[in-house]
Amino acid sequence: MPLVSSWRINPGKVIRRETLIGWIFVLPALLMYAVFVLVPFLLTFVYSFYRWTGVGAATWVGLKNYVTVFEVPDLLGTIINAFWLVVFFSFIPVGLGLVVASVIHRVATGRLGAVARTILFLPQVIPLVAAGIIWGWLLALPGLINQILRAIGLGAITRAWLGDFDWALPAVGLIGIWVLLGFCTVLLLTGMTKVDAALYESARIDGAGWFREFISITVPLLRYEIGVCLTVTVIAALAAFDIVYVSTAGGPGNATAVPGIQIYILAFTQRQIGLASALAVMLMILVVVVIVPIQWLTREVKQ
């Protein structure tokens, strides 16, 4: 038993005392967590069985909302869009983040590395709404990206990227990559510094190149960090709302509509709190179904 002070006589009492102190320390955080996460979570579940406008009396409708949810326009399309976003929000940032982090780790550990980390992490600090507006300008027909394309002779492919049926989703994905690459890079880089340098050293002595090191040491030993990155970014993609809302609001047509946007419209524009909650619960189940295997695959192997 740790930390038994000499003036404490009864070990049993000490444990109880420590447990109590522990709870007291946890309490403020727990309270916040309960108020802002647990209670809303339970309420969402409860609301999903009622027909309710958010004001006045609610009517119990059982599972009806879960049936009606399938009538939401283009619901399947929004879910497919969300899975496409997984590619941009998750696979590309994690893959690219691994490469960037290992390059920084190998060649730029000093000031250069710090600068690179800072620049890549910056999008996490910039308010997304402001970033969304700027990206809107950059991707507009008269915007900078099209100006550059014209300047290098690619005028033929210029278009209003966020207003194009085929390109709007990849354009939103690009914003997602910009936002999430820094997060993944920094997390993975931190993981790399934890790896015993002797491993890299011996690999180098054995004549391993960058790629060999990357495949044989970095990726396997970062399994847990990669798991965290994948979990966070896949959730960001499936439950996407903010990036989509500030860049396209789901348009053009429903080309970038995702379940998060539909939930928002149902709850706050149509004031169908029950229906919106049902969709939210279903989205949560979908997220869990996707995330659990990722967690399972990337769990650290127990020795």
Which one, 68 or 298, has the nearer CB to other proteins?
68
Q: Does 242 bind other proteins (CB under 8 A)?
A: no
Task: In whole angstroms, give the CA distance from residue 105 to residue 109.
Answer: 6
Which one, 72 or 287, has the nearer CB to other proteins?
72
Which one, 95 or 136, has the nearer CB to other proteins?
136
Which one, 93 or 250, has the nearer CB to other proteins?
250
Figure out which of the listed residues 123, 227, 250, 259 binds other proteins, where binding follows CB under 8 A: 250
Cα atoms in the 13 Å half-sphere on the side-chain side of 146 = 18
Which one, 221 or 265, has the nearer CB to other proteins?
265
Figure out which of the listed residues 14, 145, 160, 219 binds other proteins, where binding follows CB under 8 A: 160
Task: In whole angstroms, give the CA distance from residue 182 to residue 229.
Answer: 11
Q: Does 190 bind other proteins (CB under 8 A)?
A: no
Per-residue tokens: 169 = 């989703």
Between CA 230 and CA 236, with CA 233 as vertex, the angle to 5 degrees is 150
Q: Does 150 bind other proteins (CB under 8 A)?
A: no
Span interacting with other proteins, options 147-155, 222-230, 241-249, 291-299, rule CB under 8 A = 241-249
Q: Which residue has the tokens 């497919």?
A: 80
Q: What is the DSSP letter of 71?
A: G
Q: Residue 182 CA to chain centroid, in angstroms?
A: 12
Task: In whole angstroms, give the CA distance from residue 98 to residue 109.
Answer: 15
Q: Does 259 bind other proteins (CB under 8 A)?
A: no
Q: How far is the CB of 46 from other proteins (least distance, A)?
A: 18
Which one, 182 or 250, has the nearer CB to other proteins?
250
Give the x-and-dash track for 42-61 against other proteins (CB under 8 A). -----------xxxx-----
Q: How far is the CB of 284 from other proteins (least distance, A)?
A: 22
Per-residue tokens: 142 = 């008269």
Query: Residue 6 in 3-state DSSP?
Result: coil
Asked whether the beta carbons of 226 and 219 are under 8 A apart, the reply is: yes
Which one, 53 or 295, has the nearer CB to other proteins?
53
Figure out which of the listed residues 29, 269, 302, 303 binds other proteins, where binding follows CB under 8 A: 269
Q: What distances in angstroms separate CA 288 from CA 46, 122, 238, one per listed residue?
A: 19, 29, 10
Total number of residues that touch other proteins (CB under 8 A): 34
Task: In whole angstroms, give the CA distance from residue 276 to residue 44.
Answer: 9
Q: Does 299 bind other proteins (CB under 8 A)?
A: no
Q: Does 138 bind other proteins (CB under 8 A)?
A: no
Asked whether the beta carbons of 130 and 148 are under 8 A apart, the reply is: no
Q: Which residue has the tokens 């993609």?
A: 237
Q: Does 170 bind other proteins (CB under 8 A)?
A: no
Q: Does 275 bind other proteins (CB under 8 A)?
A: yes
Question: For residue 220, which amino acid is it?
Answer: P
Q: What is the DSSP letter of 218?
A: I
In sequence order, the β-bridge partners of residue 59 are 51
Which residues contact other proteins (rule: CB under 8 A)? 53-56, 68, 71, 73, 136, 139-141, 159-165, 246, 248-254, 257, 265, 268-272, 275
